[in-house]
Amino acid sequence: MSAASENSLSVVVLAGGVGGARLVDGLDRVLPAGSLTAIVNTGDDFEHWGLHISPDLDTVMYTLAGLSPEDRGWGIDGDTFEVLREARRRGVDDWFQLGDRDLLTHLVRTRALGLGESLTRTTANLCNALGVERPILPMSDAPCPTSILTKSGEELAFQEWLVKERAAPPVSRAQHGGNGETTPSVLDALKAADLLLICPSNPYVSIDPILRLAGVSEAVRRTPTVAVSPILNGKAVKGPLATMISEIGGRPPSAEAVAIHYEGLLDGFAVQHGDSFGALYPTLETNILIQTREDRIRFARELIEFARNLT
């Protein structure tokens, strides 16, 4: 990669929910102001109670704001659930866990979008109100709904499959809707990037939705790109990925299976101790479990160092 020093390095991260948020959080502590942009999957966005919910954007935003719980991948730490409790009392759909503080995010977003504001602008304003200074860019301002085609031939909206159906129906493939357009902000960030990082997020439903947008895979090909494996010693840290790799990819879940999925796109790959699998890419083998802030910072440093030494 270019000889840019860490100080002037422009890093763009492609991010899904929890894994994305944790890597971005670590990088946020390591990289100087102005050098980090997160491009976040909006394929999971959906409407619930008439509100526009952006699960991945919110997870990244809450994590950078220091509001995320340690023990779960969504919502705000210590949030209350009074509105949800009332929904239960009245027989209103309660399958999606909406906390009261979290709900305000969706109310503000829905109102702003209803007034014609872009999701990009709305996200910036939400971040601003929570003191988050790093740019968090939705991958698109247009709806790009991911759905799950099940082996039994049903098509389910992603959150319905994941939350309502608890990811139980076996998956044939993920489908990506929408017009395929990203935003000027995303294209500008990609253009300025010295380094692209693909977070340890679900390739099928978090990263592929970003990669398929016009101009993104071209940027990945022309820019040094390092992915972090979302599979550690055969297991996903969170979520249904391990099962999806077996069901969609037809192979046992492993870091290698993820690397093969990204074939042709990467210049380097970071895996958990014990997960290296040969010479497909230059590999950083370390502790990539980044639940604590200390681990996030340590790993962010190692990852940047690894990427800078790629040539």
- Binding region for a copy of itself (CB under 8 A): 49-51, 80, 82-83, 86-87, 90-92, 100-101, 103-104, 107-108, 110-111, 114, 129-130
Residue nearer to a copy of itself on the CB measure, 83 or 211: 83
CB of 300 to a copy of itself, least distance (A): 28
φ, ψ (nearest 5 deg) of residue 106: -70, -35
Min dist CB 107 to a copy of itself, Å, is 5
For 42, list phi and psi in degrees, rounded to 5. -120, 15
- In the block, which residue shows the tokens 């209803």? 114
Residue whose CB is less far from a copy of itself, 50 or 153: 50
Please state the closest distance from residue 68 (CB atom) to a copy of itself, in A: 15
Residue 53 or residue 193: which is nearer to a copy of itself going by CB? 53
In the bound complex, what is the minimum distance in angstroms from residue 61's beta carbon to a copy of itself?
A: 12
In whole angstroms, the minimum distance from the beta carbon of 157 to a copy of itself comes to 16
Nearer to a copy of itself, 77 or 302 (CB): 77
Taking the complex as a whole, the smallest distance from the CB of residue 244 to a copy of itself amounts, in Å, to 31
Q: Tokens representing 57?
A: 């954007």
Cβ closer to a copy of itself: 129 or 214?
129
- Based on CB atoms, which residue is closest to a copy of itself, 100 or 285? 100
CB 130 → a copy of itself: shortest distance, Å? 7
Which one, 90 or 184, has the nearer CB to a copy of itself?
90
Q: How far is the CB of 33 from a copy of itself (least distance, A)?
A: 23
- Residue (51 or 237) nearer to a copy of itself, CB: 51
Closest CA to 123 of 189, 52, 47: 52
Q: Which three-class secondary structure string do you get for the chain? A: CCCCCCCCCCEEEEECCHHHHHHHHHHHHHCCCCCEEEEECCCCCEEECCEEECHHHHHHHHHHCCCCCCCCCCCCCCCCCHHHHHHHHHCCCCCCCCCHHHHHHHHHHHHHHHCCCCHHHHHHHHHHHCCCCCCEEECCCCCCCEEEEECCCCEEEHHHHHHHCCCCCCEEEEEECCCCCCCHHHHHHHHHCCEEEECCCCHHHHHHHHHCCCCHHHHHHHCCEEEECCEECCEECCCCHHHHHHHHHCCCCCHHHHHHHCCCCCCEEEEECCCCCCCCCCEEEECCCCCCHHHHHHHHHHHHHHHHCCC
